[in-house]
Amino acid sequence: MKKAIRTLISKLPIDALANPKPVVAILPLEGVIGTSGRFSNAINLANLEEKIKSAFEVYNVKAVALAINSPGGSPVQSELIVMRIRELSKENNIPVYAFAEDVAASGGYMLALAGDEIFAHQASIVGSIGVINSGFGFPAAIEKLGIERRVYTAGESKSLMDPFKPEVEKDVKMMKELLKEVHDFFKSFVKEARGDRLKGIQKVIFSGQVWNGTEATKLGLIDGVGDMRSVMKEKLGDDVKFKRIEGEKSFIKGMLGLKTNRTTIADDIVQTIETRSEWGRFGL
């Protein structure tokens, strides 16, 4: 292997060795954020750790570009990913730039906060700085079907928001308080990352609303409208090279269309519905 590398290097022009072209490592962050047990192909730190490290290890890398296309998901996984990227950026003294593609909303926008600067397409969906918990209630349905619900718990709040029981006022209050705490965390995270670049009214910015790239720029949620290649060439020169960081994939599994973390057809259907629901909130 070493011999092959030496042979390859020996064939390179002297100028290429003395003045290598700058490289931008592209780190794709695509999909719903969460544990892969809930969402297939989910974005989480465990899945991304090696790819994140690889991005900062690319030869002659001058910047890491995050290609974000995510409707959101787990705020915990979002923060873990952001902190890991920022940690490696500081250790290696390599800047990070975030680029929203179709959507960088909710946890997807949080991922963008890993960038020193954030850019989006004019038609990108950006924002949704809020927290949501949704579900269904079926108490009337099981009563009509003559189904008896049997639940036994130790701990009065263990069956919180049980969809087969009528809503309990104190449970709803508890859930709203929990959502508010997570929302406060999200707001603090955005304020710390964007600082005085935020220009809009905070009540509007943190309302859960979404904007296109142009409006998000006016609010200070992003730094400008632009595509990755144009922006990076402007910063590093026209001769900049791009290297997309891809995960390892089994050839046989790829040919057969097999994926890991899949248990049953029913589980896969549920995962697909949940994933579609996350994207569907933004019309995608």
- Same domain? For 273 and 220 the reply is yes
Instruction: Determine, yes or no, domain membership for 9.
Output: no
Instruction: Determine, yes or no, domain membership for 1.
Output: no
| Residue recorded with tokens 């390179």 | 12
| Whole-number percent of the chain with pLDDT over 70 | 78
pTM, 2 dp: 0.78
Instruction: Determine, yes or no, domain membership for 250.
Output: yes
| pLDDT, position 265 | 43
- Same domain? For 136 and 241 the reply is no
Q: Which residues contact 191 (CB under 8 A, 6 or more apart)?
A: 198
Instruction: Determine, yes or no, domain membership for 99.
Output: yes
- Same domain? For 97 and 134 the reply is no
- Same domain? For 48 and 119 the reply is yes
More confident residue, 34 or 133: 34
In whole angstroms, how large is the CA radius of gyration of the chain?
A: 23
**pLDDT-derived band of residue 125, with 50, 70 and 90 as boundaries?**
very high
* CATH code of the domain covering residue 82: 3.90.226.10
Paired tokens of 164: 């087969």
Gap between the Cα atoms of 268 and 104, Å rounded: 25
- Same domain? For 220 and 116 the reply is yes
Please write the tens of the pLDDT for every residue from 148-157: 778 777 877 7
Instruction: Determine, yes or no, domain membership for 220.
Output: yes
- Same domain? For 40 and 105 the reply is yes
- Same domain? For 27 and 116 the reply is yes
Residue span of the structural domain in which 94 resides: 14-128+209-279
**pLDDT-derived band of residue 272, with 50, 70 and 90 as boundaries?**
low
- With 0-12 / 13-18 / 19 or more C-beta atoms within 10 angstroms meaning exposed / middle / buried, residue 235 is middle
- Same domain? For 22 and 79 the reply is yes
Q: In the chain, at which residue ranges do the beta strands (DSSP E only) sit? A: 23-30, 61-70, 96-105, 117-120, 125-127, 210-211, 224-225, 241-244
- Same domain? For 190 and 260 the reply is no
Please write the tens of the pLDDT for every residue from 6-64: 555 555 555 545 568 999 999 999 989 987 555 556 889 999 999 999 999 999 999 99
More confident residue, 127 or 169: 127
**pLDDT-derived band of residue 251, with 50, 70 and 90 as boundaries?**
very low
End position of a domain, from candidates 139, 171, 197: 197
End position of a domain, from candidates 197, 228, 248: 197
Instruction: Determine, yes or no, domain membership for 2.
Output: no
- Same domain? For 225 and 140 the reply is no
**pLDDT-derived band of residue 216, with 50, 70 and 90 as boundaries?**
very high
Work out whether strand 96-105 and strand 125-127 pair parallel, antiparallel, or are unpaired.
parallel
Position 209 pLDDT exceeds 60: yes
Single-letter code of the amino acid located at 108: G
Count of structural domains within the chain = 2
Of the candidates 107, 127, 130, 133, which has an alpha carbon nearest to the alpha carbon of residue 183? Answer: 130
| pLDDT, position 262 | 45
Work out whether strand 224-225 and strand 210-211 pair parallel, antiparallel, or are unpaired.
unpaired
End position of a domain, from candidates 176, 197, 218: 197
**pLDDT-derived band of residue 163, with 50, 70 and 90 as boundaries?**
confident
- Same domain? For 223 and 116 the reply is yes
Instruction: Determine, yes or no, domain membership for 69.
Output: yes
- Same domain? For 169 and 45 the reply is no
- What is the total residue count of the chain? 284
Burial call 193-230: b when 16+ CB within 10 Å, e when fewer = bbeeebeeeeeebbeeebbbbbbbbebbbbbebbebee
Instruction: Determine, yes or no, domain membership for 3.
Output: no
